[in-house]
Every structure is written in structure tokens, then in C-alpha cells.
Amino acid sequence: MQKDSLLPTTRALAADPREEPPDPGPVISIRGLVKRYGGRAVVDGVDLEVRRGEVFALLGPNGAGKTTTVEVLAGVRRRDAGEVQVLGVDPAVGDRAWRDRVGVVAQTTGAGNALTVRETVDHFAAYHATPVPGGELLDLVGLGATARTRVDKLSGGQRRRLEVALGVQGRPELLFLDEPTTGLDPVARRQSWALVESLRAAGTTVLLTTHYLDEAAHLADRVGVITAGRLVEVAPPAELGGELRREATVRWTEDGVPREVRTYRPAAVLRDLLAAAPGELPDLTVTRPGLEDVYLRLVGVPEEAVR
Amino acid sequence: MTAPVLTRPAPPSWTRIARARVLLELRLFLREPQQVVFSFAYPVLMMVVFGSVFGANEVSPGVSFSQYFLAGIAATGIMLTSFQAVGMGIAEERDRGDLARLQVLGTPPLAYAGGKAGQVLLSTAAQLALLLAVAALVYDVPLPDDPGRWATFAWVSLGGALAGTVLGIAVSSGVGSARAAAAGIPALAIVLQFFSGVFFVFTELPAWMQQVAAVFPLKWMTQGMRSVFLPEQAAAAEVAGAWEHGRTALVLLAWVVVGTVLAARTFRWRRGA
């Protein structure tokens, strides 16, 4: 769809080939991160490494600790325990040079609503060592045609793209994207996804948070499922919930009563079942959990609650 | 898209960002009708009201009401464009998350404060120019022709605006939400105006009010402005029987210092963080 129009003009922005090869170490490294609010641990012992160039999604329900984790990583929130390194620096003591290497997409432009789109990006160019030229930046996020529109006249999707533009204006090595598509309509959502894909293509490491499973599955190289402040699993989307996924459920109806058996060996269950059955087995099915079922079980939602 | 740059020069200096912020603040100020009306045009409105109601009545021989109150109105204008506008503005920016965004950008707090101060000084200068023009042209208030008086006008304005700016930054940290700021700061400003002789002749106020007012900058700014716009013999009618320039300068300077320390120690990019 609109993907093509949003794809990068990467060449103009490509890193200088004379530059040092990228540091092979992790971009983010977390050991035993704890953050408490009034005695309650919102982040409760998280360990995580994010590699250079990957898109990592922190997936979890509201209140799971995603945003707090990102705030600690972005150096705007103190932690209560744990070791944290972001681009080789402890965010709690990150200086301006470090902040210039880290991009954060905020929920606001930071300069009010009375500026035009172009005025906003021109203003914030002054904060960066190596800003992307304004016109180019707006073209990258598909806002070239709205450069002269006031920020308060933008649609939700356009606003979000402006915020993303401001997040990447300084050509960050690492970008934090907190809930990039919450509140967006389906078209704007796809546009945001295309933006993230183009960032990855250009080599930017992205840490995004989301409570949408399909978003994590679509965008991320790896997904970390977080619930109640704990990271319960880290895996590529296709491998999420490995054990849970292999478990099949065999269902049938016997004497008018629905029956079900959970098993890793459904064929064996079926053989026994069929051998014992006098005739047809009504409503016989074998199902394996989809990604969503796996996710719901990982975050500990009781199955009765979603049936 | 924006390929990351792996070796990069140092970020721009704080003065470079402060310059960009002065322009931004001015632009936002001019595009905010509320700000323009309540902070910027309010003193002119006061002048019109006082001038129309009291006209050419005299406070004392040779001193018209318009002339006497121009001093208080000028001082009030400075307080509104500095203390009130800055205090309310920062509380709102903090609530809206603008400051949180500036924080993740690595904005030096000094650049942010510098932007506020620059905007305050420029808008105060424009406001005072407009006020004096209306006073002189419409209400026939005689403006001084002596450079010494204009020098007094300049340092009282500058001291008052700087004190107001740093105190506005400081109060924004203590006041809480933007709603609380919008209710509390103008109320405080109004009370100070009553106590400091902006609405009444200062020497006619009860002594306790005068003493409370003497702690705060507005009374001294108003008195300093009277020494600019009133004839020399009016000094005898002051509480101390003199203009007290030395003490005025000292009080304003003290508030600039106290305000700067308070602002630096309490400034926060986020609420409750």
C-alpha cells in the first residue's frame, strides 16, 4: 500500500563508509532491573539484551511495566536495582552526547500546537549534532505536502508521523518507540509500520512497546513478553510460546457432554479414542493454539476470561 | 531511512539552542491570543481604565492620577510578562509533556531558561514601549527627558523582569498542575498588586500591608518607576521620604539571586519524577 511512498531514500543518509565498523556488543543490556513505586515493583527483575540493528518489541498488557522499562532505558527515570547499559553507557548518567545517539518518539512534538510542521522540524534541528535536513525528513515520513500545516490541524496519523520524524531527526543509533500505533486508524497504522520497517532497513536499532500482538509479530525480529513487571519469554514471533504451541487440544462430544484433552501427542490420543469409540465421534477436532492463545496464556489471562 | 551516524560531532552549544528557543518562545507567545491579551495588553487596558476614570485628578500637587498609576502599571506589566507568563507557561508545558520531550533531547536546562529570559525581555520591552506611548499620547502623561531617569527605568525594568523570570521558573516547580498554576499565580499577582500600591496610593495603605509588600519585588519596582515618572519633589511623599534607589537595586538583585538558586534546585522536566 502506501509503503512504497514511505520507503527510505537511504542512500542520501547512509553512514560514511570510512566510519568504524559498528560495535558488535549489545545496544541494550539489562540485568536484574527493578523499579518500584511506593513499595510495589512495577518492573521486577528484568534481564534483556537487544542486538544492534534489530527491531525488538516489548509486548504486554497495559500496566505490565513496558513504559517504565523504556523510561529507565531512555534515562528519564531512576531505577531501584539492576545493571543497565544503553550504547555502552549507564542511562542514569548519560550526557548530551549520549542523548544525541538515542532517539525517543514522544507523544508530543514538544513545541506546542501553534507551529507549522516545517517550523517544528526546523526548530528542533538546532538540538542535534547531525540533523537530517528538514525537507528530506518530512519526505521520509510522508509529510512533505503538509509542511505548511499547523500542528493542531494534523490528523492523528500525521501527528504520529511528525513525532516519529522528530525522534529520528538526529539520526539515532537506537530509537525508542512507545506504542507507535495506539489510537491510529488502520491506514495510519500501516503507515507507521512501514516507517519502522524502513528504519530497520537503514540499520537503526528499534525498541518498541506495544500491547498489540499482531504489531509485535509483524514488526519485530524478537518479541519480549512482559507481564506484571517480569519478562516471561523472549523469542522471534514465530517461536513465541514454543512448548505451549506444540500442545494440541483434542475435543469431541460424548453422550452429549463436551470433552477435551490437552496433549503433546494428539495422534496417540486419537488412536485410543477411535479404538474405544463404537461409531462416529461427534464434534471431533484437533487444534493447536494460535499466537494469540499463546500470548494470553503467557500473560496469565485465565482461559475462562476470554472464552 | 535516517541511517544512524556512528561518529558524530559534539551536540550544539547551549547558547545555540538558547537562541533557537528565544525565537521559538516569541513565535509561540505571539500565536497565543490568551497570552497576548492577558499578559501583554493588560497594562494598556489598565492605563485606559485608570486614565478614563480618574482623568486629570491629582494625587498631590503637580502629580496626576494617570502619572502616579503609570508607575504601578508599568511595574505590573513587567511582573505579568515575566513571573505570571513564565510560571503558567512552564506548568502547562510540563503537563503537556513538552518538557519531557526536551529532556530526552538532552536540552540543557540553561538553554531552556535562556529562551524564557530572552522572550521575557523582548516582550517586556515591546509592552512597555506600547504602554508609554498610550500614556503619553492619549493621557498626556509627561515622559522624562533626562537620561538619568531613563537609565533608572532601564535597570528597574531589567531587574524586575529577570527576578520575575527566575521566580516564575521556581514557582512552576512548586505549583503542581497547569490548572493549579492558572488559578494560583494570577491570584498571587493580584494580591501583590493591591499590597504594592498599584491600585492605591502606596502611602495610604495600612502599615502592615506596606511592610508585607516591602518583602516582594513589585513594591520596589513600582517605587522605582515612580522615581522615573513623578517629579523630583514627590520623593518626599514616599514612606522613607526618598526614592531609595540603592535599596531598590539591592532587593531586586537579592530576588534575582534567590530566584536563580530556587529555580536551579527545583526545576523538573516531569511532574512527580
Say whether residue A74 is in contact with chain B using an 8 A CB cutoff: yes
A107–B97: do the CB atoms touch at under 8 Å? yes
Say whether residue A198 is in contact with chain B using an 8 A CB cutoff: yes
For the ranges A71-75, A294-298, B88-92, B229-233, which has the lowest average pLDDT? Answer: A294-298
**B30: nearest CA in chain A?**
A114
Q: What is the DSSP string of B1-28?
A: --PPPSS-PPPPPHHHHHHHHHHHHHHH
Q: Which residues contact B250 (CB under 8 A, 6 or more apart)?
A: none
Burial bucket for residue A278 (CB in 10 Å: 0-12, 13-18, 19+): exposed
Mean pLDDT of B227-250: 93
Say whether residue A89 is in contact with chain B using an 8 A CB cutoff: no
Contact A192, A121 (CB under 8 A): no
Tens digit of each residue's pLDDT (9 = 90 or more) over A11-33: 434 444 444 555 567 999 999 99
What's the Cα-to-Cα distance from B172 to each of A111, B78, B185, rounded to whole Å? 18, 18, 9
Q: Tell me which residue of A75, A72, A85 sits closest to A42, measured CA to CA.
A: A72
Q: Measured between beta carbons, which residues in chain A are less than 8 angstroms from residue B5?
A: 15-16, 129-130, 171, 173
Query: Does residue B56 have a pLDDT over 80?
Result: no
A172–B16: do the CB atoms touch at under 8 Å? no
Q: Which residues contact A264 (CB under 8 A, 6 or more apart)?
A: A246, A247, A248
A199–B1: do the CB atoms touch at under 8 Å? yes
Beta strands (DSSP E) in chain B are 58-60, 63-64
Q: Which residue has the cell 505536502?
A: A145
- pLDDT band of residue B152 (cuts 50, 70, 90) is very high
- pLDDT band of residue A282 (cuts 50, 70, 90) is confident
Distance, in angstroms, between B80 CA and closest chain A CA? 21
Residue B81: its pLDDT value, please?
A: 93
A128–B28: do the CB atoms touch at under 8 Å? no
Burial bucket for residue A149 (CB in 10 Å: 0-12, 13-18, 19+): middle
Q: In A262-307, which residue ranges form alpha helices assigned H by DSSP?
A: 266-276, 291-298, 303-306
Query: Does residue A194 have a pLDDT over 70?
Result: yes
Residue A120: its pLDDT value, please?
A: 97
Question: CB pairs under 8 A, 24+ apart, for A1-5?
Answer: A1/A187, A1/A190, A2/A142, A2/A187, A2/A190, A2/A191, A2/A194, A3/A190, A3/A194, A3/A197, A5/A142
Interface list for chain B against chain A, based on CB atoms closer than 8 Å = 1-12, 16-17, 19-20, 23-24, 27-28, 31-32, 93, 96-108, 269-270, 273
**A93: nearest CA in chain B?**
B106
Distance, in angstroms, between A148 CA and closest chain B CA? 15
ipTM: 0.88
CATH number for the domain formed by residue range(s) A3-239: 3.40.50.300
Mean pLDDT of B115-138: 94
Say whether residue A266 is in contact with chain B using an 8 A CB cutoff: no
Distance, in angstroms, between B144 CA and closest chain A CA? 40
Q: Where are the domains of chain A?
A: 3-239, 242-306
- Residue A258 DSSP one-character state: E
Angle between helices B109-139 and B85-96 (to 10 degrees): 140
Say whether residue A123 is in contact with chain B using an 8 A CB cutoff: yes
Distance, in angstroms, between A114 CA and closest chain B CA? 6
**A18: nearest CA in chain B?**
B7
- Look up residue A58 and give its three cell numbers: 516489548
- Look up residue B154 and give its three cell numbers: 532601564
Tens digit of each residue's pLDDT (9 = 90 or more) over A121-140: 999 999 999 999 999 999 98
A20–B7: do the CB atoms touch at under 8 Å? yes
3-state secondary structure of B79: helix
Residue % of chain A over a pLDDT of 70: 90
Say whether residue A267 is in contact with chain B using an 8 A CB cutoff: no
Q: Measured between beta carbons, which residues in chain B are less than 8 angstroms from residue A110?
A: 97-99, 101-102, 105
Say whether residue A164 is in contact with chain B using an 8 A CB cutoff: no
How far apart CA A44 and CA A65 sit, in angstroms, is 9
Higher pLDDT, A292 or A40: A40
Interface of A with B in 221-250 (CB under 8 A): none
Q: Which residues contact A145 (CB under 8 A, 6 or more apart)?
A: none
